[in-house]
Amino acid sequence: NAGVTQTPKFQVLKTGQSMTLQCAQDMNHNSMYWYRQDPGMGLRLIYYSASEGTTDKGEVPNGYNVSRLNKREFSLRLESAAPSQTSVYFCASSASGVFVETQYFGPGTRLLVL
């Protein structure tokens, strides 16, 4: 099993460009999450999807949109990239959105916005 996969691994954008970060999991998990990791800030939740067909905002949703395409896939879209969105983005999944469920993380996407 691949677990949680993310594409691309690295991307450079110019301010105002758009892009979609892809995430897929093969563990039949119900819940999926997008985080961003910035130096000295830890991980902050952008959006999450407790189950297929639902999405909810996390701590820092501004400037992002998400799509839960099916149970396996959860994409994150930047419509008009800004330098403040330079970060490392992690996708995660868990069996359900209920407490104590372990979250499994992908390897991350490094995004640089110039």
Residue ranges that bind another protein, judged by CB under 8 A: 4, 33, 40-45, 48, 50, 56, 58, 90, 92, 97-100, 102-108
Least distance in angstroms from the C-beta of 32 to another protein: 11
**Beta carbon nearer to another protein, 17 or 95:** 95
CA 96 to chain centre: 17
- Closest of 41, 5, 11 to residue 114, by C-alpha: 11
**Beta carbon nearer to another protein, 27 or 43:** 43
Tokens of 83: 């330098």
